[in-house]
Amino acid sequence: MEGALVRRLEPVYDTLTDLCSHFHAVLDYPDEDIDEFRLTAYAGSLASAQATLEALLATVARGQVLRQGVRAVILGKPNVGKSSLLNALAGFQRVIVTELPGTTRDTVEETVLVGSVRLRLVDTAGIRDASDQVEALGVARSLEAARGADLALLVCDGSRPLEPEDQEAMEAARLARHAVCLLNKQDLPCQVDRSCLPFETVLPVSAKDGTGLEALTPVLEALFGAGTFCDGSVLTNARQADAIRRAAEAMGRARDGLEDGFTPDAVLTDVEEAMEAMGELSGRTIREDITNRIFERFCVGK
């Protein structure tokens, strides 16, 4: 993974090395025939470098998903088949299933593989106005789990018309980064108007016997599969994220300095700080690289 990241950074680092080597060549070898250094000529290079770094920084959340798995919360009102869904995806009876509503009173977690996507499933208490204090605490934890989730799997009972509690569950599902609606109990006549389900993806399923769940695989792979990670160059740990964040911030200061008319040496101080941060990931040393580039590009010291 880090190899792909370094390859993504190489063009940025090399462009900045060219910029710095030109400046230092003019400064250190004033008697040589070297084109005048104009910082404004590199404005496009600075903008491109910052854009690449900020694009990488935006992959932190996806990199965490790739490393830890997708945190997926199963939501719905009581007795719609949430625990049956968890059991179907897990391949065994992870949760006791009964006809009594409110059986699940706390979150239950299980890790499963759906296609190429690793899901960290969280079964939650049914969302409703609960008079029982313990059940009410479970409902509160359901909402909390939704807020921190990468994915909400909203389960609705397709054999019954939607109720206000279904609407509450829909609102909870919108707290997650992505949401998929599973219209459960498809083996029974459907009583739900699908136009009332405000979700891009609605899948008819039967959690009881697993019918229709195969349609979930391409949906999840489109959202979270490895193919959505640009050639593997995502930030998957805190060390990478910290280095790229510092590099992006330094490039932002460099561009601000250029726009504000700062002297080239002041602007290049920030450019070199960005290079040093990138060098922490690639193992490259900027002083050595800039010196080598001077002798590669310019006829000096001969």
Q: Which residue from 1, 173, 10, 174 is spatially nearest to 82, judged by alpha carbons? A: 173
125 contacts 168 by C-beta, under 8 angstroms: no
Q: Are residues 166 and 239 in the same domain?
A: no
Q: Are residues 79 and 220 in the same domain?
A: yes
Indicate the number of domains in the chain: 2
Q: How far apart are CA 105 and CA 108, in angstroms?
A: 9
Q: Which of 197, 228, 259 is the last residue of a domain?
A: 228
Question: For residues 256, 254, 55 and 278, what is the CA-based torsion angle, rounded to 10 degrees?
Answer: -160
Q: Are residues 86 and 222 in the same domain?
A: yes
Q: Are residues 179 and 136 in the same domain?
A: yes
Q: Which of 201, 228, 255 is the last residue of a domain?
A: 228
- Give the CATH number, domain containing residue 54: 1.20.120.430
Q: Are residues 247 and 269 in the same domain?
A: yes
Q: How far apart are CA 298 and CA 252, in angstroms?
A: 29
102 in any annotated domain: yes
Q: Are residues 35 and 105 in the same domain?
A: no
- Give the CATH number, domain containing residue 70: 3.40.50.300
Q: Which of 202, 228, 254 is the last residue of a domain?
A: 228
The domain of 203 spans 66-228
Residue-wise pLDDT tens for the chain (302 aa)? 467 788 889 999 999 999 999 999 988 888 788 888 999 999 999 999 999 999 888 777 666 666 678 889 999 888 898 888 888 887 754 443 344 444 444 457 788 888 878 888 888 765 544 455 544 565 667 677 788 789 999 999 999 999 998 998 899 899 899 999 999 999 999 999 888 899 999 999 999 888 999 999 999 988 886 544 444 467 778 888 899 999 999 999 999 999 999 999 999 999 999 999 999 999 999 999 999 999 998 877 65
